[in-house]
Amino acid sequence: MKRGKWADDPALLWQVAVNGVIKSTALQELGVAGSTVTARCRDGGQWQRILPGIVLLHNGVPSQLQRCTAALLYGGDGAVLSGHASLGAHGYAPSGSMSGVHVLVPPERHRASTSFVTVERTWRMPDGVMRGSLRCAPIARSVVDAARRARHADQCRALIASAVQRGDVSVDELAMELADGPRRYSAGPRSVLAELGTNAHSVAEIDAQKLYAKSGLPAMVFNRDLFTSDGSFLARPDGWLDEVGLAWEIDSLAHHLSPADHEATVLRRALLRRHGVVVVEHLPRTILGAPAMVLADLRSDYELARSRPRPKLYLRDALAA
């Protein structure tokens, strides 16, 4: 026979649970007998043990929110999500490596990694940032923790570049976070931050800069504000060859999906051309798949730019001088 408050009010369990997830000890406090929990968590039962001591109040596939909730309950008071799970809660796109949930706990707490949860004991417990019902590490910590565990350099590069491009965190903030943490598994993120130190804001631009270094053309600067002679802001091209007034634009489709973004790109390039700028445009896949053609385009347009008077446009530093 059922005994306890929950027998008279079954909805009480869901009210006490967080996102349908509840500790076994909380069930006991509500009067749910251990034998009842065991019976309901058997194969084919109404509930399931999603983690040791943690029960999910249905027998279907748990959502990512429920997995993260269970991981935090398993981690205990003050536990904080980090890595990809935290970034997902911060609004980042899902990642193929989000199957595991990374949880930070204080060093004195003994929790073993289990099932889909990776538990990290750390002296550097961050202040939790609430995202809905989930306690998450700040974005800089989440990005660095995810980057350390990236399996491939491209994954690490895309993750860090995405965070910087969104404006959620700066290269300096990531560098400080990386420097404060352990050196283990830090080679990949350190390499990417060194690349981003040249002011590249996306994976496509990093690839472009690497290719341009092989062109034999004069030095190009990237993501610098361009002004007219009266000091008015004109644009911020992806790349700018100041010697001849040539702009290089990388059409990364991932960042121009909305009609508004596409229209802004078209208007910016039309404005550059009206001011006499030679604009070279390439897709990221062309830079990777046809580098010889891209270099030929750059050299050809460089000669075109040299053949006409340089437009009276200036970088901020040059204007100030």
Ranges 7-16, 60-69, 121-130, 304-313: which has the least confidence: 7-16
pLDDT tens-place string over residues 122-144: 999 999 999 999 999 999 999 99
CA distance 2 to 124: 45
Shared domain for 51 and 146, answered yes or no, is: no
Asked whether the CA dihedral 313, 318, 320, 321 is positive or negative, the reply is negative
Q: Which of 196, 224, 253 is the last residue of a domain?
A: 196
- The residue segments making up the domain with residue 35 are 5-61
Last residue in a domain, options 165, 196, 227: 196
Report pLDDT for 154.
84
Kindly state whether residues 76 and 163 are assigned to the same domain. Answer: yes
pLDDT of 321 > 70? The answer is: no
Phi/psi at 65 (5° precision) = -60, -45
pLDDT category, 8, cuts 50, 70, 90?
Answer: low
Q: What percent of the chain stands above pLDDT 90?
A: 58
Contact in structure between 124 and 180 (CB atoms under 8 Å): yes
**Which domain CATH number covers 253?**
3.40.960
**SS3 category, 76:** coil
Of the three residues 147, 173, 196, the one that is the final residue of a domain is: 196
Confidence (pLDDT) at 95 = 65
Average pLDDT of the chain is: 88
What pLDDT is stored for residue 1 in this prediction? 39
Q: How many domains does the chain have?
A: 3
In the predicted structure, residue 318 carries a pLDDT above the cut 80: no
Residues 97 and 173 reside in one and the same domain: yes
Question: SS3 letters for 122-189?
Answer: CCCCCCCEEECCEEECCHHHHHHHHHHCCCCHHHHHHHHHHHHHHCCCCHHHHHHHHHHCCCCCCHHH
Per-residue pLDDT for 90 more than 70? yes
Task: Name the burial class of residue 160, with classes exposed (0-12), middle (13-18) and buried (19+) by CB atoms within 10 angstroms of its CB.
Answer: buried
85 and 191 assigned to the same domain: yes
What number is the average pLDDT over the span 77-87? Answer: 96
pLDDT band of 256, cuts 50, 70, 90: very low
Residues 83 and 122 in one domain: yes
Indicate yes or no: pTM above 0.75: no
How confident is the model over 21-37, as pLDDT tens digits? 999 999 988 888 899 99
- What pLDDT is recorded for position 97? 52
179-193, 246-260, 275-289: segment of lowest average pLDDT: 246-260
Lowest mean pLDDT among 3-17, 92-106, 163-177: 3-17
Residues 12 and 96 in one domain: no
Q: Are residues 192 and 229 in the same domain?
A: no
Do 160 and 272 fall into the same domain? no
Q: Which of 302, 282, 278, 312 lies closest to 294, judged by CA? A: 282
